[in-house]
Amino acid sequence: MTATKSSLNLDGALDCEAFKPEAIDLETKALNLAIIEKLKDAPPFWEVGAPAARAARVRREGWYSLEKRPDIQMRTVSGRDGISVPLRIIYPAGSQRRPTGIYLYIHGGGWTVGAADLQDPALERLADTTGMICVSVEYRLAPEHPYPAAADDCEAAASWLAEHSMHEFGTDVLTIGGESAGAHLAVLTLLRMRDVDGFGGFHAANLVYGCYDLGLSPSARAYGDETRLVMRTKDLQHFVDGFLPNDMDPRDEAISPLYADLRGLPQALFTVGTCDPLLDDTLFMHARWIAAGNRAELAVFPGGAHGFTMLPSALSIAANTRAEQFLLKGITDSSSL
């Protein structure tokens, strides 16, 4: 099995062979070992504190490099209770042409250490490949701003796009997505837009190794605390603890979308690697998405660690290409409606 093959047969059935250690290609094995070596002595975010961890990430320290562009357009929209929500807008090359759609991107980082300007190169590539304008949300971060702050800000961005995208950008074809905590917030945004705003106009959702059960799914609980391949069980638990107020049930459907009514949501692509503690979150959410009557695709990559799509490798190229093709299909489908 090569790095570009996922665990799906052509008929859509899961292939057990892809979950076995021998399915992991040599490049991915080497990359995972390098991550473990780099992180073995690095203090976790919850020891140094969120502000210090954020500063280290901006300095491009940690398990992967981040790069931001200085000349990206910014604008601010009004959020709940008068909060201003910054949006980072990335246009496709040759932006004088009419965009094919909008991709509302919600960044990851455990609701705690990410930022809207730390995925500029990836979003530029996606914009250039798909012709979509990427709108990245600078939502408020935990623990200073626990739930529902981040969800409120993402909903505000989605509501603004639903009302103004045609006037502002010349298209009302909306898609949404994100990685990790961003995928979690993307699903919460879809649910809030459906239930609160009465809006079901998103055409596709690109959901990458999301955390959909904040009570921790079986794979998240079983992963353990020894091997630090990006994220361990205790790291995930600390992220959740900082995000949620103490009096909230982590499996409340308003917080953990795995337990929500998922009917009437757009087609979705679920992507995850087999070495990710959040593997079950994706497997379970994909099944529930379909059981709710929605279309969904699943891409499981042998050996992929949490965050693997952000690293230069054949595995990440395959996953990101699959996501681009999925989004292109979503915006193409919308033009025939």
CA angle 334, 97, 101 (to 5 degrees): 25
How much is the average pLDDT of 70-96?
89
User: What confidence tens digit (pLDDT) does each residue in 162-193 have?
Assistant: 999 999 999 999 999 999 999 999 999 999 99
CA angle 272, 251, 237 (to 5 degrees): 60
Report how many domains make up the chain. Answer: 1
Query: Is residue 62 one of the residues assigned to a domain?
Result: yes
**How far from 40 is each of 149, 218, 226, CA to CA, in Å?**
33, 24, 10
Query: Is residue 11 one of the residues assigned to a domain?
Result: no
Query: Is residue 3 one of the residues assigned to a domain?
Result: no
At 106 the three-state DSSP class reads: strand
- Res 115 pLDDT > 50: yes
Supply the pLDDT for residue 61.
67
109's CB contacts (< 8 A; 6+ apart) are: 57, 115, 118, 141, 180, 181, 182
Query: Is residue 8 one of the residues assigned to a domain?
Result: no
pTM beyond 0.85: yes
Query: Is residue 196 one of the residues assigned to a domain?
Result: yes
For residue 301, the enclosing domain spans 16-335
User: What confidence tens digit (pLDDT) does each residue in 250-272 have?
Assistant: 999 999 999 999 999 999 999 99
How much is the average pLDDT of 14-37?
94
Query: Is residue 2 one of the residues assigned to a domain?
Result: no
User: What confidence tens digit (pLDDT) does each residue in 198-207 have?
Assistant: 999 999 999 9
Query: Is residue 319 one of the residues assigned to a domain?
Result: yes
Query: Is residue 233 one of the residues assigned to a domain?
Result: yes
Instruction: Provide the CATH number for the domain around residue 103.
Output: 3.40.50.1820
69's CB contacts (< 8 A; 6+ apart) are: 117, 120, 121, 124
